[in-house]
């Protein structure tokens, strides 16, 4: 299940749906009710979903010059690693918040669905 979630999130990001890790995080939080497990899984999903397309983009075209230019605009000199880290952090937070939101809403919802196992 988790591998499928990773594939769906990464494929979504690759086709331009940058918000796909958030939706997959919601699905993970809905399936895995325990927040201690769902939130890290959502974060890992977001991390992987944004890292693989960024690595593929770097291999195909090279993101170094664009990252360096963006770092200079942001005021970090020519250190291109900072925008890349911030980009991956955004993906991680998308997956994390999706999983957290789903588990939190299921905990406070008066219409709790019984476990179907």
pLDDT in tens, 74-102: 998 888 899 999 999 999 999 999 999 99
CA dist 74 and 71 (Å) reads 5
Instruction: Note the pLDDT of residue 63.
Output: 87
pLDDT for position 57: 86
Quote the DSSP letter at residue 17.
-
Cα 83 to Cα 67: distance, rounded to the nearest angstrom: 6
Residue 67 DSSP class: H
What pLDDT is recorded for position 115? 52
Structure tokens that stand for 96 in this block = 């994390």
Domain locations along the chain: 2-108
Predicted pLDDT of residue 62: 87
Which residues in the chain show pLDDT less than 50? 116-117
pLDDT number for residue 86:
94
Contacts of 30 (CB under 8 A, 6+ apart): 102, 106
In whole angstroms, give the CA distance from residue 76 to residue 62: 20
């Amino acid at each position: 299940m988790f591998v499928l979630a990773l594939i769906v999130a990464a494929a979504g990001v690759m086709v331009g749906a940058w918000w796909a890790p958030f939706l997959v995080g919601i699905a993970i939080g809905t399936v895995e009710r325990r927040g201690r497990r769902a939130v890290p899984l959502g974060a890992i999903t977001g991390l992987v979903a944004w890292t693989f397309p960024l690595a593929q983009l770097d291999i195909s075209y090279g993101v170094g010059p664009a990252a360096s230019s963006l770092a200079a605009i942001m005021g970090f000199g020519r250190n291109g690693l900072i925008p890349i880290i911030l980009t991956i952090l955004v993906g991680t937070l998308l997956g994390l918040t999706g999983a957290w939101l789903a588990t939190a809403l299921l905990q406070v919802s008066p219409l709790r669905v019984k476990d179907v196992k």
